Amino acid sequence: MAQKKIIIVGASSGIGREIANTYVTMGYKVGITGRREHLLNELKENYPDQIITSCFDVMESENHERLRKLIEDLGGLDVLIYNSGYGDPSKELNWEVENRTTKTNVNGFVEIVGYAFNYFVQQGHGQIAITSSVAAVRGNSWAPAYSASKAFMSNYAEGLNIKAKRLKKNIIVTDIRPGFIDTKKSKGNTQFWVVRKEKAVKEIIKAIERKKRVVYITKRWWLVAQIMKLLPYSLYRRIV
């Protein structure tokens, strides 16, 4: 049986790095990307025969060419995980924050995921997993671009699932919607139900392996999402 191949976009630290480590132990050949080359190289040094690196920033242009080269170096692709993400509080609607959030979570996301989807169409099968957020459910005054961009990601994932069905291709797009996870990137003054990184990664990989379409990390965040959806605007605006 051929060795499975996976690419994790945004794997230099945190959740992405933990996912890469786990897939290596599962026997996958793993391609990893990120902005900090030394962190990618550290991971490669641990598994020189299983890991291939490509250092780039998803906010740059022509990343589909870098992805094409990484797939070529990897010898194919079965799963792509888009784990790159950015979102800082933007109380004063800071342009730099809004712009970087949009370029990472929308522009870079569409270029890479769109290329991977078309690659899988030609191949006839494959899987894409995206790290969205519970924040995708509704708008948020503290981080407008973040919640909006995560909603874009979730809607895009649904659209690609529908497109794959219409094209009669065996392609699944898994929309991962985490709540608060204990990582350095986790932000927010009123965090609750914070889950350990290791537990979150275990649930994420389980959802990918089971080819889930939508998954909340952890499951209790599904309840939060439903409450958020049902709250009338007059109440919801008071808490976000």
pLDDT of residue 218: 84
- Average pLDDT value for the chain: 92
Is residue 106's pLDDT more than 90?
A: yes
What's residue 236's pLDDT? 83
Q: What is the pLDDT of residues 212-240, one digit of tens each?
A: 999 999 888 899 889 989 998 898 888 88
pLDDT value, residue 87? 86
Residue 226 is part of which domain span?
5-236
Segment 53-75 mean pLDDT: 95
Question: In the chain, how many domains are there?
Answer: 1
3-state secondary structure the chain: CCCCEEEEECCCCHHHHHHHHHHHHCCCEEEEEECCHHHHHHHHHHCCCCEEEEECCCCCCCHHHHHHHHHHHHCCCCEEEECCCCCCCCCCCCHHHHHHHHHHHHHHHHHHHHHHHHHHHHHCEEEEEEECCHHHHCCCCCCHHHHHHHHHHHHHHHHHHHHHHHCCCEEEEEEEEECCECCCCCCCCCCCCCECHHHHHHHHHHHHHCCCCEEEECCHHHHHHHHHHHCCHHHHCCCC
Strand order in the sheet with 29-34: 51-55, 29-34, 5-9, 79-82, 125-131, 170-178, 214-217
pLDDT per position as a tens digit, 122-148: 999 999 999 999 999 999 999 999 999
| CATH number of the domain where residue 205 is located | 3.40.50.720
Q: Is the pLDDT of residue 193 over 80?
A: no
pTM (2 d.p.): 0.92
Tell me how far apart the alpha carbons of residues 126 and 5 are, in angstroms, rounded to a whole number. 10
